[in-house]
Structure 1
Amino acid sequence: MAVDTQSEEARIIRQLIPLSTLPTQTFVSLCGQLTIEHAEQGTILFKRGDENDLLYYLLDGSINLQTETFTIETISAGSDSARFAIAHQMPRKVDAVANSRIQFLRLNADMMKMTTEKAYEENESTMTVDEPDDSDDWMTTLLKSPIFRSLPPANLQKLLMSLEEVACTPGQAIIRQGDPGDYYYIIKKGQAIISRKPSANAKDIKLSKLADLDTFGEDALISGEPRSTSITAVTDMTLLRLGKEQFISLIKLPTLKYVGIEELHELMKQGAEVIDVRGPDEYKHSHLPKSTNVPFFSLRMYLKTLNRHHPIIVTCKDGKTSEMAAFILQQNKFNALILKNGIAGLSQDKLSTEPASFNIDDGTETGNLSGPSSESSTSTPTEHKEPQTEELAADDLRQVVQQLKAKCRSLEAEKMTLELKCSSLARQLEKMKSELERVRGK
């Protein structure tokens, strides 16, 4: 029997993970396929060793998870544990026995996976996401983010159960530049400021602000490098933090995806774009043909200029910076892949030492957009030239279009950088004018 979407049972079901992240229309459609079941005390829902693909959710009552000799855990309806499918790792590690009269859902895991993936694809195509029914439900809101909603259910459950809640007061340093990475942070409530010192004796430069449900601290955990910025609380804050090892096993490893050089070439033929996140000097020395230089430190400024409809393959010297860059891209709903081992893993014959088609630094257009020189065009008689097929012509056109898009992106990013510099200079000018007027007035 279908579930009435206006009923108390539907309200409880709406809080279950991952059902809480579904768009409203998708959830309403799913309710039409659900049946709430009942079981008496002592009923066995599943046994150790079972390998069926069913997900069990507890709606009312309590369940014991047990072995032959003792009870490991009792799960009660309405608890945080009950928001997840009960002991869903396969094969089953425990027996699940009703501890009282219970109400529960028995769902097909494959159907749930298809439903959530379809809902995510629809949201991606329209770039809209339903707001949660309960604005205080930070967990549901957090799970709507691209990184978290892509994690396996088992990882999500372990992650959310492993989060440690800590409190901070205004002015308290949460992480310090130069310290080793130890935790990944989620802001449950409050605001913080990101700052950085260009050198040891310089003053802090404020970079940006963080607010509710923003995350931070992943760069050092992914790269193994020291913290590159400081984070300081500006209000009373409630933070959730996850240790380094748990972050790597539960988030980093299942999130980051890698490709080899052969896969890269095939993806590029299908429209994938390659960005090299090394510095400009390293990029000029050698780089992958048809790649675009987007230095890691300016990646966030380029996000609005990148195409979400095609994969983005990230490369660097050895893959470490690419991992950080790919994580940022995935947080912002890009399909990001990493070239395994970076440039260091490639032979020189696969790299180009020619200037980039569009050089971000000097604005000079070089490379394969220009036509053939007069010397090369006269050295081969016309009658001996191979005829160009429509397929080759289309490939050339696609290449030119990609290069033009790359140029537009670089110009847009350069414009944004100049606007930021202009804004900073304007503020300094106003301060100097105020100071000059103050001195004159004495």
Structure 2
Amino acid sequence: MLLIAFNGPMAVDVNSEDALRIRKLVPLATLPGPLFNDLCNEITVEEIRDALLFKKGDTENDLFYLLEGEVVLQAEGLVIEVVSSAHESAKFALAHQLPRKIDAFAKGVVRFVRVDAEKANNPPALEYKEESEMVVVEEEIDENSDDWMTILLKLPIFQRLPPANLQKILLALEEVAVVKGEVIIEQGAEGDYFYFLKSGQCEISRKPTPISKSIRLAVLEKGEIFGEDALISGAPRTVSVTALTDVTVLRLDKNRFVALIKKPSLVFVGYEEMAALRDEGGAVLDLRPLDEFERGHIEGSVNVQFFSLRMQLKSLNRDKPVIVVCRNGRISEAGAFFLLKHRFKAFILKGGMESVAEASKEDSAESRNETKADAPPQVEEGTPMPEERDAGPDEQLLKLKKENEMLRRTVKQLNDRCSELDEEKKRIEDRFTTLSRHFEQLKHMLRKLKNDA
């Protein structure tokens, strides 16, 4: 059979139907608007008939995407798969492993694009800045779009994942219809699935105690993800999620979530690395219960309960690192994942406060050893020390500098402690104001009951 190219390459107009098709390809769907526009200026649409796109053994580092027609994937003359542009699998690159393991042959007329793999998989980062409490992003998601895959891939968490992971996730997602009023996640239950809200609305609620009424925390809209907290921490569900309307969700089981999403997303740092991040202006969030926090915490850290983390987002700076801390690191993983969902630079202190305790023990041991090693010999009272007898002006100056540095450190510690006490005072005053308000309400209710009697 004669293999011929049907037409030469055609440039991609960013407003064309071809560009709309390309916009839905994986991982190109994750590119911010400006980067996608640059990509369209660099690539072309090619059209061939009954010809090879690539052959086994090729090492050219390009991703081939099918836009129209059918491509036969074959090895040694044996047909392995026929990929049609109408099928969901066409959103992924054709047999992208290098060197190529199989031949790709155009069945009839085929239109396709080839994209440099490095540019597709490792695009330059764009910064998202926060001004006047508003988040400025490159591109808004069309809420009326029926292309759930594009919406999903634009989420910050998925933009961090390797293309191979994205393909496995999309192929493994299970669609489930839920009727209005049905509970999707129940507080206290074991975590089993991670969810993407394909359509409809859901309510997040929490019961502070088993006998109290549920408190609404938030409303989830189409295109949001939920249910990851318990999968990450291994703890029971901390909230309930209920369908406010008839909804459709896509879910991914726990094992795939951990392997494909959790592990590639989370970043752990040690105690010294945390200190370096704090020097860059990073904030430390302590997710432990208040009583644990008050018994001991990292200097300058802020205590935030995990279920109220959503309400603290406006107080955080997206341009600075956020280090999340808990007792042993497990709850921190869920907290960091939540921050990553909202485009924060989140890190986890490896081992949590338990690692801080270990580091403190080591520092104390080293300090004791140094003290013993540097301790002066015992002398009789009134006998001048050798350095006092023999030290010249330079040695005395050096000694004074060391003492001055120690005093400066002490003053800093006292100032920090003073700031902590001021914050504690403010919290107590706020609590007193709230209690006074409640007391006045109770007095009013008591007077009303007496009058009614």
Match in the other structure for 1:218: 228
* Number of the residue aligned with 1:102: 110
Give the structure 2 partner of residue 183 of structure 1: 193
1:13 aligned to which of 18, 22, 39: 22
Give 1:61's aligned residue. 69
In the alignment, is the contact (CA less than 8 A) between 2:201 and 2:222 conserved in 1? yes
Give the SS at the match of 1:263.
helix
Q: Structure 1, residues 3-49: CA drift from partner, whole Å, max 9, x if none?
A: 233433233223323333444444333222112223332515242x6
Q: Find the counterpart in structure 1 of residue 215 from structure 2.
A: 205
**Cα drift, residue 191 of structure 1:** 1.3
Give 1:195's aligned amino acid. Answer: S
Alpha-carbon distance between aligned partners in 1 of 2:424 and 2:17, rounded to the nearest angstrom: 53
Map 1:249-264 → 2, pairs under 5 A = 249-264=259-274
Return 26-35 or 186-195, whichever deviates more: 26-35
Q: Answer whether contact 2:130 2:136 (CA < 8 A) is retained.
A: yes
Contact 1:138 1:213 in 2 (8 A): yes
SS for the counterpart of 1:100 is strand
Q: Does 1:246 align with 2:261?
A: no
**Deviation at residue 51 of structure 1 after TM alignment:** 5.1
SS of 1:32's partner is helix
Deviating more after overlay: 227-236 vs 135-144: 135-144
CA separation in 2, counterparts of 1:144 and 1:402? Answer: 42
Say whether residues 1:328 and 2:338 are aligned partners: yes
- For 2:71 and 2:419, the matched residues in 1 are separated by 57
- Stretch deviating more after TM superposition (331-340 or 294-303): 294-303
Question: Hey, what does 1:274 align to over in structure 2?
Answer: 284
Matched residue of 1:30: which SS?
A: helix
Question: How far apart are the structure 2 equivalents of 1:149 and 1:21?
Answer: 6
SS in 2 for 1:101: strand
Contact 1:58/1:77 (8 A) holds in 2: yes
Q: 1:54, 1:106 within 8 Å by CA — same for their partners in 2?
A: yes
Match of 2:38 among 29, 41, 55: 29
**Matched position secondary structure for 2:231:** helix
Instruction: Measure the CA separation in 1 of the matches of 2:359 and 2:168.
Output: 45
Distance 1:297 1:238, change over 3 A: closer
Helix, strand or coil: the match of 1:300? helix
After superposition, residues 350-389 of structure 1 pair within 5 angstroms as 350=360, 385-386=400-401
CA contact (8 A) 1:302 1:409 kept: no
Looking at structure 2, the residues matched to 282 and 396 of structure 1 have their Cα atoms a distance apart, in angstroms, of 26
2:292 partner SS: helix
Please point out which of 310, 316, 338 is paired with 1:306.
316
**Distance in structure 1 (CA, Å) of the matches to 2:170 and 2:279:** 40
Contact kept, 8 Å, 1:89 with 1:154, in 2: the verdict is no
CA distance in 1, matches of 2:248, 2:223: 10
Structure-2 separation of matches of 1:217 and 1:158: 19
Asked if the contact 1:187–1:238 (Cα under 8 Å) also holds between the matched residues in 2, the reply is yes
Offset at 1:90? 4.8
Residue 152 of structure 1: how far off its partner (Å): 1.1
Can you give the 5+ residue segments of structure 2 that lack an aligned partner in the other structure?
1-9, 363-395
Could you say what secondary structure the match of 1:386 adopts?
Answer: helix
Alpha-carbon distance in structure 1 between the residues aligned to 2:288 and 2:85: 51
* Alignment-mate amino acid for residue 224 of structure 2: D
Q: Is the 8 A contact 2:66 2:90 kept in 1?
A: yes
Matched residue of 2:194: which SS?
strand
Q: Residue type matched to 1:20 in 2? A: A
- CA separation of 1:79 and 1:293: change in aligned 2, threshold 3 A: same
User: Structure 1 residues 17, 299: closer, same or farther in 2, change over 3 A?
Assistant: same
**Secondary structure of 1:73's match?**
strand
Residues 34 and 44 of structure 1, relative CA distance in 2, 3 Å threshold = closer
Shift in CA distance, 383/183, structure 1 to aligned 2, threshold 3 Å:
closer
Q: Distance in 1 between matches of 2:37 and 2:141?
A: 14
- Aligned equivalents of 1:33, 1:409: Cα separation in 2: 55
Question: Quick one: percent identity of the two aligned structures?
Answer: 43
Aligned partners of 2:149, 2:337: CA distance in 1, in Å?
A: 21
Offset of 1:80 from its aligned partner? 2.0
Partners of 2:143 and 2:222 within 8 A in 1 = no
For 2:306, the equivalent position in structure 1 comes to 296
Shift of 1:382: 10
- Identify the match of residue 88 of structure 1 among 92, 96, 106: 96
SS of structure 1 residue aligned to 2:260: helix
Instruction: Give the aligned length.
Output: 398
Q: What is the CA RMSD across the aligned residues, in angstroms?
A: 4.2
Structure 2 counterpart of 1:121, from 121, 127, 130: 127
C-alpha separation in 1, matches of 2:419 and 2:80: 58
Q: 2-side partners of 1:403 and 1:45: how far apart?
A: 67
Structure (1/2) with the larger strand percentage = 2
Match of 1:43 in 2: 52
Distance 1:66 1:124 in 2: 50
| TM-score, normalised relative to structure 1 | 0.76
Structure 1 residue runs without a partner (length 5+): 353-380
Is the CA contact (8 Å cut-off) linking 1:64 and 1:99 kept in structure 2?
A: yes
Q: State the Cα distance separating 1:410 from its structure 2 match.
A: 9.7
Map of 1:345 onto structure 2: 355
1:112-151 CA distance string (max 9 Å, x none): 3454x34x43678972232356831222222222111111
1:99-178 → structure 2 map (5 Å cutoff): 99-115=107-123, 117-118=124-125, 120-121=126-127, 127-132=136-141, 135-136=144-145, 137-178=147-188
Distance 1:127 1:191, change over 3 A: same
Counterpart Cα distance in 2 of 1:260 and 1:68:
52
SS for the counterpart of 1:345 is: helix
